[in-house]
Amino acid sequence: MIDQNAERITRSHVALIALLTIVVMFEGFDISATSVVLPYLGKEFGAEPPELGRALSLIALGSIVAWATVRLGDRFGRRPILLFSAAAFSIGSLATVLVQDVAGYVAVQLVTRIFLVTQIATAYVIVSETLPPAARGRANGLLGAFGSFGAALPYLLLAPALETPLGWRMLFVIGAVPLLTLPFLWAWLRETPVWLAARASGAPRLSALEELRQLTAPGLRRNALTMTLLWLIVNFASSVSALFFTLYVVKERGWAATDFALIAPIGLMGAFVGYAGAGWLMDRIGRRWTLTLYMGALGALTMLCYTATGWWTVAGAFLGIQAVIGVWVVAYTLNSELFPTHLRAAANGWCHNLLARWGVVIAPFVLGALTARMGAIGPAATALGAVAWAAIPVAWLLLPETRGRRLDEPAAA
């Protein structure tokens, strides 16, 4: 068994992170592919930006429905929830190959998104509950770095995928690769020692109503409301920065599929460094300063990306966006550290999925509608980019600093 109270990273810790790497990497791949294929899906099905924006909003509803599955980790354990969601999301990715219209694409991807979000949230809880406090930020950052690596892959693989008989659908065949890893996950993934200890000590299995009652009680109410607000801003701002990028550069900057292949290798490295850097900074300067730096940069880079006309400036700004979206690692880490073990998965489900994921739903809808009103994606995304900066006062006025906090009951309560 892995001891979370150990002060140093052990071989068991490294093995755990390696085991979760593929799961997290293909979570990033699938979410990225959903937006990367928009120009080609729109062309095949005759859909314009407002309709595509509504499609992404509907797909994002799966993130909200994931509230029901994420919170089950407190009841049944982290391991079974991760295994089931990894299998379900992989099957959903493969099923996307069969869609024949926008409605079918939305339906399959909505269900897929439920389990995709469940597995990534559970993976971060597993790492947070297993790694020693002094290394928790770096471990989550490394996990997120591999997720970002997966998110950059569709840009690299788009051009060759379009040359295959399946076209853009080929990306979703690749996205089903985690099916091949399930036997290894089943054999080697273990339940977290923190969850096992909580269960052995008689921690209650709470109903949804009791979860809500405890999260809104005086001891945890402020944490719950603050994380909901923070997640809402992060979801909205990161969606505005990235979801319409492919559509934007193809329609308004004249990019071809080969242009994405040019920036993809640098994007892979930049995103990896951005996520891993978020983890390193969390352990060195704290959660609040890291959040401030990343959200400040996200707003500025979004504005630059969608106002620039030169190829190198647009590409450079987008690569920067890929790196600073590593702020998700900060939010996931905070969400694990601010709540006790028997409510940790539930807090993620309530604060992030049921409430704050509406930011992902609203963002493409608002961006699509504003694009129609302003006549182009560029000015619409630029106008919405400043929302990222709203996270900075939240960090300093409402969030406690949680660097070094242990995840036993007294420390987290």
Instruction: Please give the Cα distance from 58 to 52 (Å, whole number).
Output: 10
Q: Which two tokens stand for residue 36?
A: 């990367």
Instruction: Please give the Cα distance from 303 to 371 (Å, whole number).
Output: 15
Q: Which two tokens stand for residue 100?
A: 């024949």
- Note the pLDDT of residue 203: 73
| Residue 344 domain flag | yes
* Range name among 103-117, 150-164, 234-248 with the lowest pLDDT average: 150-164
How does residue 3 score in pLDDT terms, banded at 50, 70 and 90?
very low
How does residue 150 score in pLDDT terms, banded at 50, 70 and 90?
confident
DSSP state of 350: I
Instruction: Please give the Cα distance from 295 to 234 (Å, whole number).
Output: 8
User: Containing domain of residue 123, as a range?
Assistant: 11-412
**Contacts (Cβ under 8 Å, ≥6 apart) of 279:** 137, 138, 139, 140, 141, 142, 144, 145, 329
Average pLDDT of span 59-64: 87
| Residue 51 domain flag | yes
Residue 325 near residue 238 (C-beta atoms within 8 A): yes
| Residue 244 domain flag | yes
Total domains, the chain = 1
Distances (CA, A) of 388 to 121, 234, 288, 328, 391: 22, 7, 14, 12, 6
Percentage, residues of the chain above pLDDT 70? 97
- Note the pLDDT of residue 289: 97
| Residue 4 domain flag | no
Tens of pLDDT, residue by residue over 353-370, are 889 989 988 888 899 889
| Residue 72 domain flag | yes
| Surface-to-core class of residue 67, CB atoms within 10 Å of its CB (0-12 exposed, 13-18 middle, 19+ buried) | buried
- Note the pLDDT of residue 96: 94
Give SS3 for 259: helix
> Alpha helix locations (H) across 131-164?
136-162
How does residue 322 score in pLDDT terms, banded at 50, 70 and 90?
confident
Asked whether the predicted pLDDT for residue 412 surpasses 50, the reply is: no
Residue 198 near residue 341 (C-beta atoms within 8 A): yes
Distances (CA, A) of 83 to 16, 88, 195, 276, 398: 14, 9, 16, 25, 35
Instruction: Please give the Cα distance from 138 to 282 (Å, whole number).
Output: 7
- Note the pLDDT of residue 408: 56
Place of tokens 């770096």: 138
- Note the pLDDT of residue 249: 92
| Residue 1 domain flag | no
- Note the pLDDT of residue 143: 82
Average pLDDT of span 112-131: 89
Percentage, residues of the chain above pLDDT 90? 46
| Residue 6 domain flag | no
Residue 182 near residue 87 (C-beta atoms within 8 A): yes
Asked whether the predicted pLDDT for residue 29 surpasses 70, the reply is: yes
The mean of the pLDDT values for the chain is 87
Residue 341 near residue 77 (C-beta atoms within 8 A): no
Asked whether the predicted pLDDT for residue 411 surpasses 50, the reply is: no
- Note the pLDDT of residue 4: 45
Average pLDDT of span 106-122: 92
Q: State the angle between helix axes of 257-285 and 311-324 in degrees (0 to 180), rounded to the nearest 10.
A: 40
Tens of pLDDT, residue by residue over 194-212, are 899 888 887 777 888 999 9
DSSP state of 96: G
| Residue 140 domain flag | yes
CATH number for position 263: 1.20.1250.20
Asked whether the predicted pLDDT for residue 5 surpasses 70, the reply is: no
- Note the pLDDT of residue 187: 87
